[in-house]
Structure 1
Amino acid sequence: MKFQNTGYYYLAFLVLAFVGFWPSYFSKFFDGSADFNQYFQFHVVTALLWVAMLVIQPILIRKKKFALHRTIGKFSYFLVPFLFISVLLLANNRISPDLEFVGPEFWIPFKDLVIFSYGFGIAIWYRHSMAIHARGMIVAGLALLEPVMVRVMYNVLGLQGTYPYILGISLGYVVLMVLIFLERNEKQGRWVFPVGLGVFLIVHIIRITGFNPDFWERFSHWFVSLPLT
């Protein structure tokens, strides 16, 4: 499996993101009610640039534009740290240190960084192995799926409660399990998706159960109390 068509899937994902964020973000620029601060806008720009890379890079491989693919890939070394910073600054800006329990709130954005770090780390470490590199990038891309799907459930479909959240995160599991099944006979890189599935399970179990050990609560409270924003 060479995953050369994943760019087109991420293009569809970009459309889905536009739909999911339309009520709470994009529509605000048309009705004049957009009042998003610079931290939110910074995050939007970095996230859109990352999705753009996910769309472009596999297409370049499909068209055998390897040199351009490598050049754009090097841009990720610059973009990804800024994407991380944007997530952390937004969390620092939006989460109040006065909450009774800060840890579970901080875990919501932080868990996506955990998933992303696993996928992107694999992709960079094995950048000379196309089979493993591509799988890592797919997992890194799936880190963005939950925020989009959850907003589709709440903003577009108007669902409420816990079950829409479960439905929202389920698509990532479905994608991973389908990929694991499809590549069951592959000889190289077959471990990336099963480990990624394990990472998904761990971070979501923590999220759903509200597991909040003392060290995490203290760290989270310290971080959101920093005068960063």
Structure 2
Amino acid sequence: MSIKTKAAKLRFDLSGYYFFGLIFLVLLGFWPSYFAKFFNGTADFSFYFHFHAGVLILWMSLLIVQPILIRKKRLDIHRLLGKGSYLLIPLIFISIILLTHSRLPHQRQLSDDHLVGTFNSVKDLVILAVAFFIAIKYVKDFQLHARGMIVTGLAFIEPAFIRFTLRVISDPMMAYVATILTVYAVIIYLIYLERKQASARWVFPLVLSLYVIAHGMVIFDILYYPFWRNFVTWFAGLPLTIN
């Protein structure tokens, strides 16, 4: 294999180190609204929020540790921790569903923010589901497995970054556009880096397409059609959480 060919490949075994940046982004986005409140004594969050934060912290830790284990050639520990993902991913899904439901008014009319917020949760669930399905279906194909796991980490960028941009940009729509363009830039950069990869190049373009479709539905006001309001109203009426 030539040096040129090696240089064209993404180093997935180094992704764990890059995911430390994801922790910084999460702290940047959620510090004022979550983490800082534990220091000033104003933390009054529900169980659903703590549950959601806890399982996501565990998942981010897994995304950091697993590639490092591969790099250190500790495949035995890597496989053992990988089995834990079969439990952790369902817990993440449950936490997102419960947290989303707890934020909806059960006996009041839904606002536009409720419609958009619920859709963003569904969008995140779809991205995570597709990414994890790829990672597990192709668990013996390192190139595809690694890409699937990386996408599960990329799904955290938008929720964290939008909270930061909303503090910097006063116009919510401009903050939203800045956020989604940042997400697109990261994925497009990964597509560019692997442009000479011989196989498995379809994962990042697929995920980019899903993001474009989801964001297009928000920008072009499709979420305000009766079918989505009816769905969110039905979902809010389910006896899942206690306000």
Which bin holds the TM-score, normalised by the shorter protein? over 0.9
Taking only the aligned residue pairs, the percentage that are identical comes to: 43
Equivalent in the alignment of 1:58: 67
* Structure 1 position 216, deviation (Å): 3.3
Equivalent in the alignment of 2:4: none
Name the count of aligned residue pairs. Answer: 228
Equivalent in the alignment of 1:208: 219
Structure 2 CA distance for aligned equivalents of residues 182 and 160 of structure 1? 33
RMSD over aligned Cα atoms: 1.6
* Structure 1 position 215, deviation (Å): 3.7
Unaligned 5+ runs, structure 2: 1-8
Unaligned 5+ runs, structure 1: none
Equivalent in the alignment of 1:125: 137
Query: What amino acid is the match of 2:175?
Result: P
Contact 2:134 2:145 survives alignment (8 Å): yes
The TM-score, its normalising length taken from structure 2, stands at: 0.89
* Structure 1 position 135, deviation (Å): 0.7
* Structure 1 position 5, deviation (Å): 1.0
Query: What amino acid is the match of 1:181?
Result: Y
Question: Are residue 95 (structure 1) and residue 118 (structure 2) matched?
Answer: no
Structure 2 CA distance for aligned equivalents of residues 139 and 54 of structure 1? 10
Of 156, 165, 175, the residue aligned with 2:176 is: 165
Structure 2 CA distance for aligned equivalents of residues 22 and 105 of structure 1? 20
Structure 1 CA distance for aligned equivalents of residues 147 and 50 of structure 2? 29
Of 182, 185, 192, the residue aligned with 2:196 is: 185
Structure 2 CA distance for aligned equivalents of residues 100 and 130 of structure 1? 44
Of 6, 10, 17, the residue aligned with 1:8 is: 17
- Deviating beyond 6 angstroms after TM superposition, the runs of 4 or more aligned structure 1 residues are none
Structure 2 CA distance for aligned equivalents of residues 210 and 28 of structure 1? 34
* Structure 1 position 181, deviation (Å): 1.2
Contact 1:180 1:190 survives alignment (8 Å): yes
Question: Are residue 151 (structure 1) and residue 160 (structure 2) matched?
Answer: no
Question: Are residue 107 (structure 1) and residue 119 (structure 2) matched?
Answer: yes
Equivalent in the alignment of 2:56: 47
Query: What amino acid is the match of 2:32?
Result: P
Question: Which protein has the larger Cα radius of gyration, Structure 1 or Structure 2?
Answer: 2
Query: What amino acid is the match of 1:120?
Result: F
Equivalent in the alignment of 2:6: none
Contact 1:7 1:59 survives alignment (8 Å): yes
Query: What amino acid is the match of 1:82?
Result: L
Contact 1:104 1:210 survives alignment (8 Å): no
Equivalent in the alignment of 1:116: 128
Residue by residue over 1:88-139, the C-alpha shift from the partner in whole angstroms, topping out at 9 and shown as x without a partner, is 1011110225215654331021111111111111111111100000111111
Query: What amino acid is the match of 2:196?
Result: N
Of 75, 78, 85, the residue aligned with 2:87 is: 78
Structure 2 CA distance for aligned equivalents of residues 158 and 169 of structure 1? 14
